[in-house]
């Protein structure tokens, strides 16, 4: 390798999502929002957004209704724990797998 080439080599990363892969596959429990109980969805006003605020990975959107990005949600359950209305329930991923399998049959 020429000296010039060597001097221009740098270990530089570029920003992008999914450094740890599709972290949604880590999930055992899936957070599901009950829109009937969720405060901003129910009142159609910008309010609460605790799920967006406390999410360590920023996968919940600050919209009405809040949308969870299941591709990257790790399923920690902080949103379910911090939701003041108790609108988010953690449901086992196996349940969704079964549903998918039923559809196939």
Partner 1 sequence: MENKTSILNLTEDEFVHPGNRACAGCGLGIVYRTALKALGKNTILVVPPSCLTVLQGLYPIAAAKLPCLNVTFASTGAAATGVRAAMRSLKKNDVNVVAFAGDGGTGDIGIQALSGACERGDDILYICYDNEAYMNTGVQRSGTTPQGVVTTTTPITGKLQSKKDVPSIVAAHKIPYLATASAAYPLDLYDKVKKAASIKGPRYIHVHTPCPPGWGFEPRYTIKVGKLAVETGLFALYEMENSQLRLTGPSKKMLGKPRLPVTDYFKSQHRFYSLGNDLINDLQAQVDHAWDAYVIHQ
List residues binding partner 1 (CB under 8 A).
11, 13-23, 26-27, 46-50, 52-59, 62, 69, 71-72, 74-78, 80-82, 90
Q: Report the residue number, 69 or 102, with the smaller CB distance to partner 1.
A: 69
In the complex, minimum distance from the CB of residue 101 to partner 1, in angstroms, rounded to a whole number? 25
Give the max Cα distance, the chain.
66
Sign of the Cα torsion 71, 75, 79, 80 reads: positive
Q: Give the whole-angstrom CA distance, residue 52 versus residue 66.
A: 8
In the complex, minimum distance from the CB of residue 62 to partner 1, in angstroms, rounded to a whole number? 5
DSSP assignment, residue 60? B
Q: Report the residue number, 21 or 36, with the smaller CB distance to partner 1.
A: 21
List of residues 6+ apart from 18 with CB closer than 8 A:
72
Q: Report the residue number, 25 or 97, with the smaller CB distance to partner 1.
A: 25
In the complex, minimum distance from the CB of residue 31 to partner 1, in angstroms, rounded to a whole number? 10
């Amino acid at each position: 390798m020429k000296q010039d080439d060597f001097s221009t080599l740098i270990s530089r990363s570029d920003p992008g999502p999914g450094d740890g892969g599709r972290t949604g596959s880590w999930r055992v429990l899936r957070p599901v929002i009950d829109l009937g109980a969720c405060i901003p969805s129910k009142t159609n006003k910008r309010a609460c957004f605790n799920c967006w605020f406390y999410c360590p990975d920023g996968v919940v959107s600050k919209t009405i209704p809040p949308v969870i990005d299941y591709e990257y949600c790790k399923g920690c359950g902080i949103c379910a724990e911090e939701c003041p209305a108790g609108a988010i329930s953690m449901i086992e991923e196996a349940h969704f797998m079964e549903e998918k399998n039923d559809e196939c049959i």
